[in-house]
Structure 1
Amino acid sequence: MKKCCRFILNDKEIEFTLSPGRSVLDLLRKDFGLYGTKEGCREGECGACTVILGRIPHVAYRPMPSCLMSVGQLNNTHLVTIEGLQGERPNRLQQAFIDQGATQCGFCTPGFIVSLTGYLLGGRTVTLQDAVDALDGNLCRCTGYGSIRRAVAATIEPLLGKEPSLRQLIELDLIPAYFADIPQRLENLRANKSLSNSPDLTFEPFDGNRLLIAGGTDLYVQQADALNQSEPWFLIPESEPIRVKKGMIEIPATATMEQLRQDPHLIDQFPGWRDKLRVIASHILRNRATLGGNLVNASPIADCAVLLLALDAQIQLVSSKGARRKFPLRQFFLGYKALDLNRDERVESLLLTKRDDAWLWNYAKVSKRQRLDIASCNSVAIFKVHNGAFASVGLALGGVAPIPFTAHRTMAWIKNKPVSMETFLGAMNVLQKEISPIDDVRGSADYKRQLACALMADHYLHCFSNVCSYNDFVKAGVL
């Protein structure tokens, strides 16, 4: 059934009857003729179709791939394409690309411009490293990236160390003046109750008989044609904050990977949290992909699943009747692509114990590319040391079993043993007996066994460089 949706597209208010499962990319190109949003890979990996989505409250803007977005999630939002950034002449960022020779064929250029603009609209302190990282989901095959980096550096120079407001970005000629009125226009749009069948934030009761879409970053890759004709239920990525309640960090299932990466509670507890999680997907995908979706996809190498298992997370499910179940996340994975999740249930939240101090930890991933790639194997380790011995250990690996794997036997073996090379090497022997990798397209079982040891060595080298060295593991035959 088609439904009515109202949103702001660039500077124009749109009221549109649509199939809610249709992709935003198709809507822009085929219905509105906005061809600056390019159709590239349709998998969220090239960045050519990047748009910016702003949502109230506070109009939080995020750049994301339109090929993986449902039009049914556009209600009461501000959708910005490259055309919405264009004035009578090139703006500051566009002129920097011209001056630095950062565009040739031009196919990829709109995506770069939109991605960086979306980063600047994100309300975070601007740094050159973060600005460059914001383009890690955008590919160029003509120019080379040196000129693009120079264009970025020249553009953001007056904003370094600041959290730019809409007014500052307008004054610097980075966004058009109409952006200043968008917050009030969106409030007015939301206050209009005439669209009674509008598909927006509240989708209770969830009956389990229709497809549930949050980020859609995997669903639209696998089932794009079917989704274009579907009538799914929607959850809105990043629609709820991460909260601390009664000593627990409560992470909603709709939290995006970037929201998780930027959470101050987790940054305080785990040194290097933001930097380590940069290797998960890309900036535009992390703005879209949700924790709940990553878990329900049930991949044995799911990055967030491995992370949350090592953190000893609990998962909370909610049924269509409002009944809730809470249990350890490690019990959620029953077998390959098999979950303890009833048809009328969905993931509501994840719960982590808030620790009082910083813990030693490490995240390590082996893949063909550093960014935006599926892991052959990945692993997270968390350590608490007291009086020179392991007081507490969390260890999870992906790619070594049919499910995201918690290494219970290895964790139990390490606990209370001294922090030493002997303990490290002994734990690797225990782990080899505990894992069960198989041959597949990402590597042989023997290769994954070697990777498991290499990942363990990486954990120890990162957390205990005063106790062990790279050469120690080479001499032991691990590396």
Structure 2
Amino acid sequence: MIQFILNNKTIKTSEKTGVTLLDFIRENQQLKGTKIGCREGDCGACTVLVGELNNDKINYQSITSCISPLGNAHGKHIVTIEGINLPKKLNSAQEAMSNNYATQCGFCTPGFVVSMTGFALENDKNKTCNNAVSGNICRCTGYKSIEKAGFEIEEKLLQKDENNKIAWLIQEGFIPNYFEEIPSKLQMFLDVTSSAVEKSLKGTKVANGTDLYVRYADDLSEENVQLISAQKDLKNIIFSNGICSIGANATVTNMDESLQLKTLFPKLKQFLKLVSSEQIRNMGTLGGNFVNASPIGDMSIFFLALNSILTIQDKNGLERTIPFQEFHQNYKKYDLQEDEILTSISFPVPTKNTFFNFEKVSKRTHLDIASVNSAGSITIEKNTVTDAHFSVGGVAAIPKYLYKTGAFLVGKEINNKTIKEAEAILQSEIAPISDVRGTSAYKRLLAKQLFFAHFIELFPTKVELQKLIA
């Protein structure tokens, strides 16, 4: 039995856990404001908010319901556009869209309004309203008017009382009154709710579905899928004895919210903004990205360059570890048995002498799959490289770890001659093919330029830029 709160209504259903949340909302509950668009998580027309109780408060995030399994709603508060409508007037996000003429056909508008309301419910002062709608596409209005609506919302939120956030948002017309009662309702609800969904050990393993549901939504909708995202212990980010260990169920957003990770990687937010959209970053797990085994998986490339170790657990709880470089074996093939799951990825905490960079080239700067992406980690002692790890995606059948390139740099100084010699070795390690994302020659050129970009970014005083790119 799946049980959750949908807007202000308690839901108890025996629907299969693999049914998409979107289809349940629209067909079972007849809430048609959540639209069907791409069914791939790209357009944002199906955006809803998911609220999860944490220390007597609910944290809300936006997700795309078209690729989210219904079972993952268990024990949570799901909010659709109908759930943020006010009885007799527009809510603040709707009013901002109206004031700035930010809608025409209106098909995408509910998704934008839900994302903007999610922004109002968040605590991240470093995020803008435009960040929040990064996964929402409008095909007819033009984004300038939507951007202006976002500015109006941001200006209003400057006065938000963070100590009494929900009460303030209700008072200012962002959300209905019932939101104030949801934490206590959800707590009582969780106290008596069965955990049978979490304990399911049968069916296809699904975390948050951002890859599987793009390809197999129809098939999965017929299953009671095994929902491994319910395993909360697999979301932890732990630092111990010089090692950082991140649970395989951690999302890109979890990484972005980690103060310790942002201290280690000062440009982490900039790197992660290149990964998909707001909604997908809230959903996509590291383990899912690795097992997807895409040759251009952003997080695979990121963690390969950190010389990471994977921990894998079988159904009996027995664990084994392997270097991440050995996990991907061939196109879409990897070292994971049917009864095993990834539990964590760990890497040595970078020292003050270790420098890391991530680069990505795609047809669009954001919200796009890479043509080629690359990461590099270099440790220097007394002007000499003591450790080096590089990865590059889009140039082989797997996310490519560059064994020879990194080994060549150890023991050498960083200068133009060394960098060019290392790049020649890089070219011998890759074998790109021509496809829709570019020709083989183009990808070789991108791999070269991104490799140079690591050094230009990390060691600007050691690189003669004009001579390097000449």
* Pairwise CA distance, 1:124: 2.1
Alignment of 1:164-179 (within 5 A): 164=162, 165-179=165-179
Query: Are 1:112 and 2:112 matched, yes or no?
Result: yes
Q: Secondary structure at the match of 2:31?
A: coil
* Pairwise CA distance, 1:398: 0.7
Q: Please list the CA deviations of residues 1-50 of structure 1 after superposition, one character each: whole Å capped at 9, or x if unmatched.
A: xxx21111101111122111100111111111111101000000000000
Alignment of 1:11-50 (within 5 A): 11-50=8-47
* Pairwise CA distance, 1:121: 2.0
Q: Distance in 2 between matches of 1:430 and 1:161?
A: 56
Aligned to 1:233: 226
Q: Please list the CA deviations of residues 44-71 of structure 1 after superposition, one character each: whole Å capped at 9, or x if unmatched.
A: 0000000000112242211000001111
* Pairwise CA distance, 1:159: 3.0
Q: Distance in 2 between matches of 1:292 and 1:233?
A: 15
Alignment of 1:418-429 (within 5 A): 418-429=413-424
Aligned to 2:145: 147
Contact 1:410 1:427 in 2 (8 A): yes
Aligned to 1:302: 297
Structure 1 unaligned blocks of 5 or more = none
Aligned to 2:131: 133
Contact 1:237 1:256 in 2 (8 A): no
Q: Distance in 2 between matches of 1:94 and 1:265?
A: 37
Q: Secondary structure at the match of 2:407?
A: helix
Contact 1:215 1:237 in 2 (8 A): no
User: Which of 427, 434, 441 is the aligned partner of 2:429?
Assistant: 434
Aligned length: 463
Q: Distance in 2 between matches of 1:422 and 1:71?
A: 56
TM-score by length of 2: 0.94
Q: Distance in 1 between matches of 2:254 and 2:230?
A: 9
Contact 1:51 1:80 in 2 (8 A): yes
TM-score by length of 1: 0.93
Query: Are 1:54 and 2:47 matched, yes or no?
Result: no
- What amino acid is the match of 1:55? E
Aligned to 1:355: 350
Q: Please list the CA deviations of residues 412-432 of structure 1 after superposition, one character each: whole Å capped at 9, or x if unmatched.
A: 111221121111111111111
Q: Distance in 2 between matches of 1:217 and 1:140?
A: 21
* Pairwise CA distance, 1:470: 4.4
* Between 395-404 and 443-452, the greater mean CA deviation after superposition: 443-452
* Pairwise CA distance, 1:391: 2.6
Alpha carbons of structure 1 residues 257 and 236: separation in structure 2 relative to 1, 3 Å: same
Aligned to 1:9: 6
Q: Please list the CA deviations of residues 314-334 of structure 1 after superposition, one character each: whole Å capped at 9, or x if unmatched.
A: 100110011101121111111
Aligned to 1:273: 268
* Pairwise CA distance, 1:237: 6.9
Q: Distance in 1 between matches of 2:120 and 2:318?
A: 41
Aligned to 2:154: 156
Q: Distance in 1 between matches of 2:241 and 2:187?
A: 33
Query: Are 1:458 and 2:457 matched, yes or no?
Result: no
The RMSD of aligned alpha carbons is 1.8
- What amino acid is the match of 2:107? F
Aligned to 1:371: 366
Structure 2 unaligned blocks of 5 or more = none
Contact 1:258 1:286 in 2 (8 A): yes
* Pairwise CA distance, 1:278: 0.2
Alpha carbons of structure 1 residues 65 and 414: separation in structure 2 relative to 1, 3 Å: same
* Pairwise CA distance, 1:137: 0.6
* Pairwise CA distance, 1:465: 1.9
Query: Are 1:218 and 2:215 matched, yes or no?
Result: no
* Between 355-364 and 368-377, the greater mean CA deviation after superposition: 355-364
* Pairwise CA distance, 1:370: 1.4
User: Which of 411, 415, 427 is the aligned partner of 2:410?
Assistant: 415
* Pairwise CA distance, 1:291: 0.5
Q: Secondary structure at the match of 1:443?
A: coil
- What amino acid is the match of 2:242? G
